[in-house]
Amino acid sequence: MPPEMLFLAALDGLAYGSLLFLVAVGLSLIFGVLGVLNVAHGSFYAIGAYVAASAVLAAAGMGLPTWLAFPLFLISAILVGVVVGGTVEALLLRRIYGKEEVLQLLVTFAVFMILEDAQKVVFGTQPLFANAPMNWLGTIEVFGIYYTNYQLILIPLVALAVLVGLRLFLRRTSFGRAIVAVTQDREAAMAMGINATRIYLFTFMIGASLAALGGALSSATTSLTPGIGSGMIVLSFAVAATAGLGRIEGAAVAALMIGLGRSAAVYFAPEFDVLIPYLIMVVVLLIKPEGLFTTLQTRKV
């Protein structure tokens, strides 16, 4: 195995890990603030992908320039997060905070089942893809092998921007600080005049938008078929759990680990590439049950 192949494998892992991070960080954020493990998160990813692809195809049909796809990705993601995510939170989740964990989990499981079929009804069952944005950005040659700029540069850049943006948002803005305050002590935060209901709603919308953004970005590289959400959800569980639920920077590292691990597996042990994420998750949870990046913190009991 020539050493440059290792480097190439790492490049593939980077792109894959970045996409995984976008989805998983939303899941992690929602859990950190609301305490709900959102099984329907994969559906937001899928719906984001479908909406973005439809928007890009519609824009192309109207003869609009290809670069418009990138703002469209963002708009679709926010739209899905606000409309679908907002509805789920306001209509369903809001009624079960404080109830048993299993009921919260099952509500999102029910939402997942409903959204899976809703996608089919709305977007059909034929594979849908809109690859124009990927081709528009062209390719780059690394050691004689062509990579798309879209996967090698754009997706990791977006992931980085989200990571930095979320950090700044949570630490520097008053709304972000309010979110952190609610996470740490809901009662105290409310006593200080923070509107927890609003915080929950917005956090859920942000989390759902991030999943939808991951979906929107993937719509240019992959075919959308029924069921893409259910595969993604377990992967993002694996990332979030490996990192420690609620850990944002941790999610980035864990997503990268899983991305690199998987592409290394394609070279060295192709039989085990699908096992890698779960194996990493099991090993990490066994050694450090709260995840890699969780320092001991007092959670409400």
Partner 1 sequence: MAIKRSAAVAFALGALMALPALAQDKPKELVVGIATFLSGPASVFGVPGKNAADLFFEELNAKGGILGVPVKPVYVDEGAGTNQLISEYRRVVQDQGAQVMFGAISSGSCNALAPVAEDLKVVNVMWDCGTQTIFEEGKWKYSVRTQGHAGAEMMATLLYLMKTKPDFKTIAVVNQDYAWGRESWALFQAGLKALKPDVKIVAELFPKFGAPDFSTEITRLSALRPDVVLSTSWGGDLDTFVQQAAARGLLKQSTFVLPLAESSMERLGAVMPEGVIVGGRGDHYFLHPKHKNSAEMQSFVKKYRDKTNVYPIYPTFHMNQAVTGLAKAYEKAGAANGGKWPTKEQVIAAFEGLEFKSLTGTITIRSDHQGLEDQLLGTTKRVPEYPFAVYDKMALYPGKLVTTPVGEKSLEWFAKTKLDLVNDKSIETFDYSK
Partner 2 sequence: MARQYLIGAALLIALIVFPVVSPWSTVILTVALCEGLAALGILVLLRAGQVSFGHGLFFAFSAYVVAFMAAASFGHEVLLLVPIATAASGLVAALVGLFIVRYRAIFFGMLNLAISMVFFSLLEKLFSVTGGADGKRVPRPTLAGMTLERETFEFWMFYITLALAVTAALGVARYLLSPGGKALEAIKSNETRLEYLGVSSRKVLYGAYLLSGLLAGLGGAIIALVSGHVTPELAYWVRSGEFVFIAILGGVGGVAGPFLGALMFQIIRGYAAVHAPETWHAVLGVMLLVIIFFAPSGLYGLIAGRKRKSAPKETAPKETAP
Binding site for partner 1 (CB under 8 A): 5, 8-9, 11-13, 15-16, 19, 116-117, 120, 124-127, 129, 131, 134-135, 139, 144-148, 150-151, 218, 221-228, 231-232, 262-263, 266-267, 270-271, 273-274
Q: How many Cα neighbours within 13 Å face the side chain of 169?
A: 13
Helix (H) or strand (E) holding 33: helix 3-34
Q: Based on CB atoms, which residue is closest to partner 1, 225 or 297?
A: 225
Q: Which does 301 bind (CB under 5 to 8 A by kind): partner 1, partner 2, none?
A: partner 2
C-alpha closest to that of 112 among 236, 245, 289: 236
129 close to 222: Cβ distance less than 8 angstroms: yes
CB of 5 to partner 2, least distance (A): 23
Report, in Å, the least distance between residue 23 CB and partner 1.
11
Question: Is 301 within 8 Å of 252 (Cβ atoms)?
Answer: no
Contacts with 3 (C-beta within 8 Å, 6 or more apart), sequence order: none
What does the block give as tokens for 64? Answer: 């609009």
Closest CA to 250 of 260, 258, 240, 235: 240
**Residue 241 site contact among partner 2, partner 1, none (CB < 5 to 8 Å, cut-off depends on kind):** partner 2
CB under 5 to 8 A by kind: which of partner 2, partner 1, none does 15 bind?
partner 1
Q: How far is the CB of 247 from partner 1 (least distance, A)?
A: 25
Closest CA to 188 of 298, 74, 66: 298
Q: Which of residues 64-93 bind partner 2 (CB under 8 A)?
A: 92
CA 241/CA 284 separation, integer angstroms: 9
Stretch that binds partner 2, among 59-67, 104-112, 143-151, 182-190 (CB under 8 A): 104-112
- Hey, which bits of the chain come out as E strands? 139-142, 145-148
Q: Which residues bind partner 2 (CB under 8 A)?
A: 31, 37, 39, 92, 95-96, 98-103, 105-107, 109-114, 116-118, 120-121, 230, 234, 237-238, 241, 245, 271-272, 274-275, 278-279, 281-282, 285-286, 289-290, 300-301
